[in-house]
A = this chain, B = another copy of it.
């Protein structure tokens, strides 16, 4: 559970502080200085670089190898699907369809989460079943509805290509057999640490600049005061803890399908039914459609649904608009990725199937 209740309590306490700080201001004219202080306590900026994972330095050789693997369609059984297919760095780190299309045109069960800033999340997947990006990376490669591959076949593929053998040796020096499924995952994680989006207008605001207009400031204020920030907190404005979807009123089955009980599948605990990791909201304007079901295309509609289902507030149109405008200030500087040049297969490379 990773101290879910502690995180929740802290977030709620901070949100209440926010409420108090705002209470002396007219609702439509938030005090920017007080709001900045509250926002810095609740969220914090996206870092410019992540240099370590699990206490270990990420090396340039690992990042470079990870970039090749990120775009490598031969990690899939078909040789057609790469990590970037569903987590496209050109489109907000996601695929912008309700649920991803995988091997054999099968549709996955949940909306593809963005890879951008994913390293900041408490855990990976909508239900947090992978504790970090290394573990996460092993999932889609093997999932039959995604890349439909096996660790053995991935290792055989990579070992058959001399340039990959050399790249793994450089990325994991001193290992007797560096070309492993585990190291594939480590390299992918290393590359993903570079996929952060700093310097959003919101982060400029946090740093003291007047980068938000009156509506955006009001949206931020509402986001805190109405309680959104109780769940969507931390530098990724979400991704920090788990909460039930439909805490006040359960949305329709189109948005919250009865067949997907979320984190219950991970913990087998009744209280985790329909519990999901709070969606990280950085770059949310780039990652429609929304929710784990991917059934809501409009950010305004998503905000309104959250208000009613999670907070019991029927937000009015002006409130929804202000919050949506604030959310669009969370779009940061997107990573500039030069596509790698992937080495050709050899006679021993397994063929696509």
A-side residues, CB < 8 A to B, are 71, 73, 78-80, 85, 88-92, 95-98, 101, 104-105, 285-286, 288, 297-298, 334, 336-342, 344-345, 347, 351-352
Contact = CB atoms under 8 A, between A and B. Distances in A.
B104 A80 contact: no
Q: Which label, helix, strand, loop or mixed, suits the secondary structure of the A interface?
A: loop
A285 B90 contact: no
A90 B340 contact: yes
Given A78-B101, A79-B96, A105-B105, A286 B344 contact: yes
A71 B96 contact: no
Contact of A341 (B90, B338, B342, B344): B90
A97 B80 contact: yes
Contacts of A97: 78-80, 352
B105 A91 contact: no
Contacts of A71: 90
Contact of A342 (B90, B98, B337, B352): B90
Contacts of A288: 344-345
Contacts of A104: 105
A88 B73 contact: yes
Given A96-B345, A336-B338, A73 B91 contact: yes
| Residue of A89, A342, A344 most packed against chain B (CB within 10 A) | A344
Nearest to A79: B97
B285 A344 contact: yes
B340 A297 contact: no
Contacts of A297: 345, 347, 351
Contacts of A337: 338-339
6 contacts: A90-B341, A91-B344, A285-B344, A297-B351, A298-B347, A336-B339
A87 to B, nearest CB: 12
A71 B91 CA distance: 10
A88 B85 CA distance: 12
Contacts of A73: 88, 91, 95-96
Contact of A101 (B80, B90, B298, B345): B80
Q: Which 9 A-B pairs have the closest CB atoms?
A: A105-B105, A90-B339, A338-B338, A334-B341, A90-B342, A97-B352, A337-B339, A80-B101, A91-B342
Nearest to A80: B101
A104 B107 CA distance: 11
Contacts of A336: 338-339
A51 B12 CA distance: 60
Contacts of A285: 344
A261 B91 CA distance: 40
A339 B116 CA distance: 15
A297 B344 CA distance: 11
A351 B297 CA distance: 9
A311 B298 CA distance: 62
Contacts of A95: 73, 79-80
A269 to B, nearest CB: 35
Contacts of A341: 90, 334
Given A90-B342, A97-B352, 9 more contacts: A71-B90, A80-B95, A80-B97, A80-B101, A90-B339, A90-B340, A297-B345, A298-B347, A338-B338
